[in-house]
Structures are given as structure tokens and as C-alpha cells.
Structure 1
Amino acid sequence: MAHSLSAKKRIRQNEKRNARNRWRKNIMRESIKELTDKILHAPLKEAEEALKAAAKIIDRTASKGTIHKNQAARRKSRLAARIVARKKAGQLDAPPKKK
């Protein structure tokens, strides 16, 4: 347990930052899950719009220092590659759902 005032303050600050970072990461993960779902089950236009929204959230998360900028770039690149792969496969409309 911290004894000095400055150490106690650091603990309070770390708890606040940890909560804020967890919140940002959760928002980012939710947007990526939504995008992944649209890549698999929605028309391509919807998936591309979701990619723009997810990229914006990923960039914001990186700019706040929650994730590293290289990790943000890697995530965006991989998500965009999945959309490009779907374009190359010629699946412009929603792909058939598997039963």
C-alpha cells in the first residue's frame, strides 16, 4: 500500500486511466465485431461504411495512447484486406447465410 500522498495520487490516476482505456478498447472491439459481422452477412456497401466507422474509432483509440499506432494500422489493414478479398470473390450482395 502506498504511504506518500503522491503515491496515493498515482494509484487514483492509474485507476481512472485504466477504466478509461478499458472503455475505449471495448468500444473499439465492438465496432470491429460489428464490421466483421457485416463483412460476413451484409452487402458490401454496408461493410465499407462500417470499415470507415471502425477505422475512425481505431484511430481515435491510438491517438489517445490506449493502443500503439502500429497496432491500429495493422488492425485497419487486416480489416480492409478482408473487404478486398470479398470484392475479389465477387460477393457484392450479401453472401448466402449458412444453415
Structure 2
Amino acid sequence: MAHSRSAIKRGRQSESRRAHNKPIKSALKSQIKKVRTLVSEKNFASAEKELLTVQKMLDKAAKTHLLHTNKASRLKSRLKIAINKIKPAPAGK
């Protein structure tokens, strides 16, 4: 248990920040899982559409320091690479 006034205040602040950040992180993880599921089902069009939502969420999370900027970039890159692997070949000549 915190003893000083500043430590007590810090405890209150971290609890309220945790309560604010938890649903955002949870929604982000769910959205990433959704994209990965679409990739495993080889559903290129839907996966690419959902990727735009994930990228926006990751950028917002990085901007508000919910995630490290490099982690957000790494996740976006890996998802894009996975989606490009299932991209259908263009129609031949």
C-alpha cells in the first residue's frame, strides 16, 4: 500500500489510465485477430479492407503512447506481408 500522498495519487492515476486503455487494447487485439483469420481463410478482399481499420487503430495507439511506435509499425508491416502472400495472381495475357 502506498504511504505518501504522491504515491497514493499515482495509484489512482494508473488505475484510471488502465481502465481507459484496456478496452482500446482489447479492441485492437480483436481486430488484428480478425485480419489474421481472414488471411488464413485466404479472403484477400476482406482482409485488405479490415487492414485499413487496423492500421488506423495502430497509428492512434502509437500516437497516444499506448503502443511503442516501432511495435505498431512492425505489426502493420507483418499484416501487410501476410495479406500480400494471399494476393491472387493477376489475370494472364
What code does the residue aligned with 1:4 have?
S
Query: Percent of aligned positions with the same letter in both sequences?
Result: 37
Cα deviation code 1:12-57 (max 9, x no counterpart)? 0011112222222111100001111112226311111000011111
SS in 2 for 1:14: helix
Residue matched to 2:83: 83
CA distance in 2, matches of 1:91, 1:36: 20
Residue matched to 2:27: 27
Residue matched to 1:11: 11
Residue matched to 2:61: 61
What code does the residue aligned with 2:81 have?
A
CA distance in 2, matches of 1:64, 1:25: 12
Is 1:47 the equivalent of 2:59? no
What code does the residue aligned with 2:77 have?
S
Contact 2:42–2:86 under 8 Å retained in 1: no
Unpaired runs of 5+ residues, structure 2, are none
SS in 1 for 2:86: helix
| TM-score normalized by the length of structure 2 | 0.85
Residue matched to 2:36: 36
Root-mean-square deviation over aligned CA pairs: 1.8
Q: Which moved more, 1:13-22 or 1:29-38?
A: 13-22
Greater RCO structure (CA 8 Å; 6+ sep):
1
SS in 1 for 2:31: helix
Would you say how many aligned residue pairs link Structure 1 and Structure 2? 90
